[in-house]
Structure 1
Amino acid sequence: MSYIKIYIHIVFFTKNRIPYFNTLELRVKIWKHIKENATEKGIFMDMVNGYSDHCHCLISLSSNQNIENIVQLIKGESSYWINKNNLTQEKFAWQEEYFAVSVSESKIEQVRHYIKNQNIHHQKKTFQEEYRQFIERYNFE
């Protein structure tokens, strides 16, 4: 048996960064569904949370999974589910782009805390500021 533990922090955004998820109740409902669906698909999702226009996931890859397929499954199914249940006033979609960075074992708790506290975090910092910070921190430019 192979033993694999590869944690990935994924961030993806609503199309055109429209703040569709404008209530805590709606966000909780969507994040819960994303986690449940991931579990059904054999994706180990440690944490999921976000804010009105984006979603953070902390996942652990197994030997037969890759980041692109996991992100496609999560975004595709959740878009379908959000539209099927009329959770937004207009047709919902996720932006095609996303961030994905590896997380070392020593930083897991820090990333969990960061994801868990998105509501507090975004009272102090806009998503645009967070976006620029990700670009700079991980040298994506």
Structure 2
Amino acid sequence: MADVFSQLYIHLVFSPKNREALINSDWEERLHKYITGTIQERGHKLLAIGGMPDHIHIFVGLKPAEAISDLVKEIKVASNDFIKNEKLSKFKFEWQNGYGAFSHSRSQIDAVCKYILNQKEHHNKKTFQEEFVKFCDDFGIEIGRKEFFEWFD
């Protein structure tokens, strides 16, 4: 059997249910470390992780043996359990069902990593909704009749 050669870089974006700002800066780093471990245990490579209280960005080098949807599901389930078991949030914490997955080329790795690691700065100028809609536009993703995140302003 021949070996598999792949180069898959995926930028994931998702939010707590109802896009609530529940990711507290007091425990955000612990959450990021936990998610990093989940990704690595599944054989993927974490390139960057960051976000805001109302959403998270994860950039991974994806191994082709696992579907993106399966990885996202595992990240959400495991991190949700971690938040509950560690009693990190005083509020009920759940991730929204939807997510964004955007592919990038090798030449874009540095720019995407810098973008994710500088989320606080980016969101001084742009809301999460504006950011996500721009991603969809930039990647030619037609939102149309798809079920979209629940935006509460």
| TM exceeding 0.5 | yes
Q: For residue 4 of structure 2, what is the aligned residue in structure 1?
A: 2
- Structure 1 unaligned runs (5+)? none
Q: Which moved further from structure 2: 39-48 or 65-74?
A: 39-48
- Secondary structure at the aligned position of 1:55 is classed as strand
Residue 47 of structure 1 deviates from its aligned partner by 1.2
Distance 1:46 1:139 in 2: 24
How many residues align? The count is 140
Whose Rg is larger?
A: 2
Q: For residue 150 of structure 2, what is the aligned residue in structure 1?
A: none
Q: For residue 105 of structure 1, what is the aligned residue in structure 2?
A: 106
Residue 123 of structure 1 deviates from its aligned partner by 2.0
CA RMSD of aligned residues (A): 1.3
Q: For residue 82 of structure 1, what is the aligned residue in structure 2?
A: 83
- Structure 2 unaligned runs (5+)? 144-153
Q: For residue 19 of structure 1, what is the aligned residue in structure 2?
A: 21
Distance 2:122 2:131 in 1: 9
Does the CA-based 8 Å contact 1:43-1:70 persist in structure 2? no
1:130 aligns with 2:131: yes
| 1:73-113, Cα deviation, whole Å (9 max, x unpaired) | 11110011101111111221000000001101111111111
Instruction: Report the TM-score when normalising by structure 2.
Output: 0.85
Instruction: Report the TM-score when normalising by structure 1.
Output: 0.92
Amino acid at match of 1:137: D
Kindly indicate which of the two structures has a greater share of residues assigned to helix: 1
- Secondary structure at the aligned position of 1:4 is classed as coil
Does the CA-based 8 Å contact 1:14-1:93 persist in structure 2? yes
Q: For residue 67 of structure 1, what is the aligned residue in structure 2?
A: 68
Distance 2:30 2:67 in 1: 26
Does the CA-based 8 Å contact 1:49-1:57 persist in structure 2? yes
